[in-house]
Amino acid sequence: MLKAHSCMTAIWRHTMSIIPGVTAMHHSLGSLRWRSRYRPAPLLSASPARALIDEQISIQGRFLPPHSAVTVCAHMHSEDGDLWEAFSHYNTNEDGTVNLNRDYSVGGSYVGCEPMGLMWSLQPAPGAREGLRLRKKNVEAPYVVNLSLLEGHVTPSDGSTGEGCGAGPLAVSTVERWYMTPGVRRIDIRQNGIVGTLFLPSGPGPFPAVVDLWGMGGGLVEYRSALFASRGFASLSLAYFGHKDIPGPLNTINVGVDYLRSAYHLLQDRPEVCEERVGVIGLSFGVFMSLQIATQPDLKPKCVICINGPIGEYWGSGSPFKRATLVSEKCPCRITFTQRTVKVMRKIKSHTNILPIPNIQLQSLQFYINHMSLQLENLTCPILYIVGEDDLSCASKENANEIEEALRSAGKAQLFTRLSYPGAGHLIEPPYSPNARTALWTVKPKKLITLWGGHLAPHAAAQENSWNKMLHFLDCNLRG
């Protein structure tokens, strides 16, 4: 065996002496690979690939030419099949990378360093139906967002192929955006006349809880409640208007304070809920409903959050609260009770005259301040009122002022906290949700477009900041 090994060694040495340069080439193979002009294929990554809707993701492009122009796109289909898209222009660094957490967009759907810009700037693709608003219906499935990396500073396609953002991407990636974490339980509530959906966090509980109320769009809106449960709060999304399981005409509010009281007690009585740690949150007309609960002496929630909503009710015949009809197209702007509200309405009218939406009537669902509607002096819990200063649907600043003044007069000024956001509109929702400045309200008897207000970038900033402040507010008042 030793002799055979010696022979092979001699043959190898002989070969090396016959073929000059082979040894040098053998030792330089590794360095030759790194000196090659070839590089790995471009890569687009998004991490985490599955995340809650309120979580940031990190989007990066790598293995690109240094100092080159690229476009990063996002596109997704809503549950109704409509294509939404966003895009932004970047220039790669000297190492051939682009990182949305670090780098500045120089054009497209947004500009500046906006790590989640591709999410909050999503808008209907060119040629889409008029008046679209993105709202999640099935919270047990995610939004699936497709990301693309394109060469050069380009504009997306018109979406006619359903793929968006042009052809021939350098790299692609996909992310899932969820409202529910694994383990959250969704329970339909049809009990004692109450119509809602209860979301319970993972685990045995008991949990702090919130009653979640939306506005005059009606129906049962679940996605905010699902997200609250994902953050550790039991949440009852409560329908009170425009739902087939609530008796009476769909275009009227057919329930009163007793309905709200029963829903509150139903939530308290759940074994998974800590009955002494229940709060209320309302958006738009849901603010009025939330304050109805909070001012009842026998309920006493621990806290209430109000987002761009009224302390008054629609002005109608009979009892407005029990029979509050929608504002009609013949009288969309009837104002009463305060001069400040009149001024806000004049501002809204000026906006309707310049919006470029032909052949569609615009309406403003303006809320009215009625000092007799609520006994605000009965409030005993902290209240967080969130104002979008570009709200075109509700005189939110004026309503916040009325609440603050009423509490100050009652010696309870310490209960009131206001968050006010320039450039934010009416629909302040969970973070990174696209804003709709206008949206379709109804198609019968004719198309009506509702004015919500809000500009994309400041509205997105308001949603992110207010959501974190809301979670902190709930933590302090329901857990502490």
CA 188 distance to own-chain centroid: 23
Q: Name the residue among 449, 454, 456, 460 with its Cα closest to residue 355.
A: 449
Task: Give me the phi and psi of 22, to 5 degrees please.
Answer: -65, -40
Give 129: exposed, middle or buried? Use CB within 10 Å, 0-12, 13-18, 19+.
exposed
| 3-state SS, one letter per residue, for the chain | CHHHHHHHHHHHHHHHHHCCCHHHHHHCHHHHHHCCCCCCCCEEEEECCEEECCCCCEEEEECCCCCCEEEEEEEEECCCCCEEEEEEEEECCCCCCEECCCCCECEECCCECCCCHHHHCCEECCCCCCCCCCCCCCCCCCEEEEEEEEECCCCCCCCCCCCCCCCCCCEEEEEEEECCCCCCEEEEEEECCEEEEEEECCCCCCEEEEEEECCCCCCCCCHHHHHHHHCCCEEEEECCCCCCCCCCCCCECCCCHHHHHHHHHHHHCCCCEEEEEEEEEEECHHHHHHHHHHCCCCCCCCCEEEECCCCCCCCCCCCCCCCCECCCCCCCCCCCCCHHHHHHHHHHHHHHHHCCCCCCEEECCCCCCCCCCCCHHHCCCCEEEEEECCCCCCCHHHHHHHHHHHHHHCCCHHHEEEEEECCCCCCCCCCCCCCCCEEEEECCCCCEEEECCCCHHHHHHHHHHHHHHHHHHHHHHHHC
CA 432 distance to own-chain centroid: 5
Give whole-number Cα distances, 300 to 406, 439, 470, in Å. 18, 36, 19
Q: What positions carry a catalytic annotation?
A: 284, 391, 426
Token pair, residue 372, equals: 């007799």
